[in-house]
Structure 1
Amino acid sequence: MDYTISYNPATGKEIAKYQRNTKEEVIEAIKKSKAASKLWSQTPVKQRIKAIKNVQRYLIDNYKEVAKAICDDNGKLLIDSFVAEVFPAIMATSFYTKYAKKWLKPKNLKGNSILTFNKKAYMVYSPYGVIGIISPWNYPFSIPFSEVVMAILAGNGVILKVATETIHVGNILNKAFEAAKLPDGLFSYVNSSGPDTLDAFIEGSIDKIFFTGSVETGLKIQQAAAKKLIPTVLELGGNDAAIVLKDCDIDKATWGIIWGGYTNSGQSCGGAQRILVDKSIYDQFCEKIKEKVTNLRPPKVPYNETIGDADIGFITSKTQKETVIKQIVESIEKGAILYGISYLPEDLEKQILTEDERKDYIIKVRSSKSEALKFLNKLLQVNNNFLPAMVLTDIKEDMPIFNDEIFGPVIGITYFEDIEQAINMANDSKLGLTSSVWTSNIKEGKKIASKIEVGVVMINDHLMSHGLAHTPWGGVKLSGIGRTHGEDGFYEMLSKKVIISDSLTFAKKQLWWHPYSKIIWDGMVGAMKFLYHKSLKEKFDGLKKLFKLLNRFFEKN
């Protein structure tokens, strides 16, 4: 029997062990969900809302237990687990249960031509059937939670597969949805490998796939889904830019960018990574960042009880830690400077530094390229998933810090000469998820925001829009397709159908039906001239011909 073991990134200790599902079991879960969703789609919206509100009540009653589970399994601080995952989930539930009934109502589609005055059109919305959700490890609770809530409210069944790295959180999420008392089989949480899950989704003809994760995996899912034309929503990576103007509040901008870059240990696809600063304030900005980053506090034991006395948590996995270090090393080898760094937890200091080195290692690491690389190599070798917050300066386009997504606590800073250069630098990426503009001139900030090629731009903040349930979330370029969150995200859970009826029930024929005649030609040309020609004479002439055509409504043969 195959199992997935969940480990605490902070301690390395086993949290729990969960039995794996086979591909065949996932396919069977899809079949059951399809059957259950047919009945659920006919369930009154009021009843669906009640079910989801039960889930919300569970979270309110058990918020600390859920936050601790996220902290234990993912490595983020307890405060991050609550503020960025549990609380947004509770808020999102209120938002979606408030508007679901309104959004599910048919919508009238208004035309603007008197030629088709008798055609009444409206849009109706139907659930897809079964939604497959493959969610990531960086926000293992809040990302899938909102998607499941929207899918259930829309009348769908759901098959949820969470990341293997945070399988314990998946079980906690499953426990929360048990409070909804949904029909048997409607919602299934599966513990299976990524390839097995995808194969099962395709073979089981799931109705739509939502995926959050890497660009590489997203492209594989898109290619696999295309074989059966299964629609997808993909939220992929980002290496997001923050543009800092000379008129900004520097103290505010540095704190905001520090939060956007280092919350969740920098493991945020929408986090601040490439910091583009006006040249006139570049030195001042870098000094402020260095000073504040140096004072960011590492976690203390016991890690899942730390509230308010730490600022940086742990990297979720050893593999991810190694990847981040290698990206930073490559950037430094290509000329970037390790300009700022925060302190290590005391136990990690003792593991990799001598007593003498511990006295001044922050200064020493920043003193030269060789010292920086030596320090990073020590972090790479040690069996500990903590990485300090790091600041790189002198970053260039050929470095990972500029070109790639770095899923760790590091930001890179460079300067620009003018706004156009800043916009071009921000757009010089194959990714386009989020961005931010820091300025005291909101009007100018909005103007710049309109030129940045991303899905979300924030002014004087970064990243937190993911916690706003009413704002759509998603990117452009290789950052994905489709949207989650908000009204747009809700409609991603629904298929659309247009229904058109004829208000002239007494009419025997439509104006354009067979048999064709010159009267149809003349009447249609006349309609065009009456509606759109500038000349009054042509309009009047066209109207006369249109009147002749209207007799077609009453023709029996």
Structure 2
Amino acid sequence: MADGTATATFVTHSPATGERIAEHPVDGPEQVSRAVARAREVQKGWAALPASRRRDHLLRWKKALATELDEVARTVSEETGKPAGDAALEVVLTLEHLAWAARNAERVLRRRKVGTGLFTVHQRASLVHRPLGVIGVIGPWNYPVYTPMGSLGYALAAGNAVVFKPSELTPGTGLALARLFDAAVPAHAGLLSVVTGPGSTGDALARSGVDKLAFTGSPGTARTVMAACAETLTPFLAECGGKDAVIVAADADLDATADAVVWGALGNAGQTCAGVERVYAVREVHAALCERVAERAGKLRPGSGAEADYGPMTLPSQVGVVERHVTGAVAAGARALVGGPESVRAPYVAPVVLTGVPEDAAAMTEETFGPVVAINAVADVDEAVERANASRYALGAAVFCGSGRTGAAIAARLRAGAASVNSVLGFAAVPALPFGGSGDSGFGRIHGEEGLRAFTSVQSVTVQRFAPPVALTSFEVPAATRERAVRLARSLHRRR
């Protein structure tokens, strides 16, 4: 929690039962400012450590998270409503990413020599990635450990301190991450600090003077936060969700495709930024795929018990969005293969599978973020690619076909930041792959080498090795000498 006394508090509740979970402070500008100032002081010692020492500290944090996995997963499950097993898998995937960041930061960010040109042969050139300082992170509620760790772990591995504002729906999860860090790395306690509160706390963080802000949330909120960052030219990284499409070719394994579509669309109650929301299947296999998806989806049940396949809608207001999309699609002529408007029974939404949804319906153009999937028929893969790319979102995608090579060629045509062939969300489980999108899905990348570099600044350095034969950067150079150099350069560059 941030230093200082907050003037107000807020209470979190179980999405499944509405029962009170905990009370947390609403941190305002003063508390946020103190957290940033403290982080800036602690960061100096962290940045001065050899990369190998930072790696060892982060691996101790990873070990602490693994040791306390059940407790962290319990907190995630309590605050989001997702089944305990799903919460545990989220923590496991998080551990993979933290381990990769810790072990690869030194290799990715170390000083690197670069070549010089004809007129700079007397120089030795290099570049180095330096930590930015203090990174502000505004996290989401749907994956409150895995998603922010793409910024938290990678920023720390790059030598920064972090001030983290978790979603007001999942503050306990954020506090647990910071508590375990301090316990694992007591010499650098406060390097990862947490401020809690609603949007106003996030606004204060954006205006606090952090050296970069990483945000996950809706495009509308991203624009608001980005505008605050713009006032001080604070760099901004945004991951804003998606309307991810799946393309199904005529030679796809339909059983495997249906299994992947159902999991990608309905897992976590559909509350996945890169989850499956649209499916474009070529006409020859459309009916058969619909049948298989409907059969599998029809067996799933939401709930809060151990037997539930997924949990409630974590954000109460999202229930209305889902209902509007489903009702609008059916009214516009779509056919419900599973469920329909009656599936919405807050706080739960039973599986909904639609087909024949008009492309201009909200269910095809806006992010639904619920357990709903639309499967439309297309004439061929070309039409599928065209429709997939028509969205203003461009986060993830998937292609199912008989040949992996053909699938990769189709994926290369998609306007998506990440794509999987013959699986869904395969890229999310590979720590070395960067993740992010464009358009209303945001910009910038987390994860992988690009994710480490995203939290650094590049410094270019030249060291003169010897005096140049012709010192062109001097007023003492005769005009005739400069003219000869220009003629030589022109002659060389006119050659192919």
- Using structure 2 for the length normalisation, give the TM-score: 0.94
Partner of 1:176: 180
Match of 1:21 in 2: 27
**Equivalent in the alignment of 1:234:** 238
Q: Of the candidates 422, 435, 440, which is equivalent to residue 384 of structure 2? A: 422
- Tell me the alpha carbon deviations over residues 317-367 of structure 1, each in whole angstroms, 9 at most, x when there is no partner: 3222222112221222222222113xxxxxxxxxxxxxxxxxxxxxxxxxx
Shift of 1:508: 7.3
Letter in structure 1 aligned against 2:420: M
| 1:513 corresponding residue in structure 2 | 474
Distance 2:491 2:173 in 1: 65
Letter in 1 for 2:331: E
For 2:278, give the aligned amino acid: R
CA distance in structure 1 between the partners assigned to 2:421 and 2:454 by the alignment: 27
Alpha-carbon offset, residue 183 of structure 1:
2.5
> Identity of paired residues, percent?
28
Shift of 1:475: 0.1
1:33 is matched with which residue? 39
Preserved contact between residue 9 and residue 26 of structure 2 (Cα < 8 Å): yes
Contact 1:3–1:19 (CA<8 Å) still a contact in 2?
yes
Amino acid at match of 2:484: D
| Counterpart in the other structure of 2:444 | 482
Match of 2:297 among 293, 300, 319: 293
What one-letter code is carried by the residue in structure 2 that aligns with 1:323? V
Shift of 1:516: 4.8
Alpha-carbon distance between aligned partners in 2 of 1:403 and 1:117, rounded to the nearest angstrom: 55
Aligned residue number for residue 94 of structure 1: 99
Aligned to 1:344: none
CA contact (8 A) 1:238 1:269 kept: yes
The Cα of 1:528 is off from its aligned counterpart by 3.3
The yes-or-no answer on 1:3 pairing with 2:9 is: yes
> Is 2:399 aligned against 1:399?
no
Contact 1:24 1:200 in 2 (8 A): no
Does residue 77 of structure 1 match 2:38?
no
Whole-Å Cα distance in 2 between the matches of residues 399 and 44 of structure 1? 54
Residues in 2 aligned to 1:106 and 1:323: alpha-carbon distance in whole angstroms? 49
More deviation in 129-138 or 94-103? 94-103
Distance 2:56 2:366 in 1: 44
Which of 432, 439, 442 matches 1:470?
Answer: 432
Please state whether the residue corresponding to 1:295 is helix, strand or coil. Answer: coil
Deviations 1:5-33 (A, max 9, x none): 12111222112222222221111111111
Report the equivalent of 1:109: 114
Secondary structure, aligned partner of 1:247: coil
CA distance 1:138–1:110, change in 2 (3 Å): same
Shift of 1:416: 0.9
Residue 60 of structure 1 aligns with which residue? 66
Q: Show the counterpart of 1:368.
A: none
- The equivalences for 1:305-320 within 5 A come to 306=306, 309-320=307-318
1:272-306: CA deviations, max 9, x gaps? 11100000111111111111111124346xx3xx2
C-alpha distance in 1 between matches for 2:447 and 2:191: 22
| Count of residue pairs brought into register by the alignment | 488
- Counterpart CA distance in 2 for 1:201 and 1:426 is 34
Instruction: Give yes or no for contact 1:140–1:166 (8 Å, CA) kept in 2.
Output: yes
Contact 2:73–2:88, Cα closer than 8 Å, also in 1: yes
Which 5+ residue runs of structure 1 have no aligned equivalent? Answer: 342-371, 535-557
> Match for residue 324 of structure 1?
322
The 3-state SS of whatever aligns with 1:206 is coil
- CA–CA separation in structure 2 for the residues paired with 1:530 and 1:228: 45
Amino acid in structure 1 at the alignment position of 2:371:
P
Aligned letter for 1:180? V
Q: Distance in 2 between matches of 1:418 and 1:263?
A: 28
Alpha-carbon shift at residue 522 of structure 1 (Å): 2.7
> What one-letter code is carried by the residue in structure 2 that aligns with 1:490?
L
Aligned: 1:274 with 2:236: no
Displacement of 1:39:
2.4
Check conservation: 2:110, 2:129, Cα contact below 8 A. yes
SS at match of 2:348: coil
**Paired AA for residue 331 in structure 1:** A
Counterpart residue number, 2:490: 528
Q: What SS does the aligned partner of 2:347 have?
A: coil
Q: Structure 1 residues 113-122 or 458-467, which shifts more? A: 113-122
Task: Please tell me whether Structure 1 or Structure 2 has the larger radius of gyration of its CA atoms.
Answer: 1
1:134 maps to 138
> Among 185, 188, 207, which residue is 2:190 paired with?
185
Residue 371 of structure 2 is aligned with which of 409, 412, 434?
409
Cα contact 2:150–2:447 (8 A) shared by 1: yes
| Letter paired with 2:92 | F
Cα shift at 1:177: 1.7
Q: Equivalent residue for 2:3?
A: none
Which residue does 1:360 correspond to in 2? none
Q: Distance in 2 between matches of 1:69 and 1:93?
A: 19
1:451 aligns with 2:457: no
CA distance in 1, matches of 2:69, 2:367: 31
Q: How far 1:176 moved relative to its partner?
A: 2.2
Name the residue aligned to 2:332: 334
1:406: Cα distance to partner?
A: 0.7
Q: Is the 8 A contact 2:301 2:351 kept in 1?
A: no
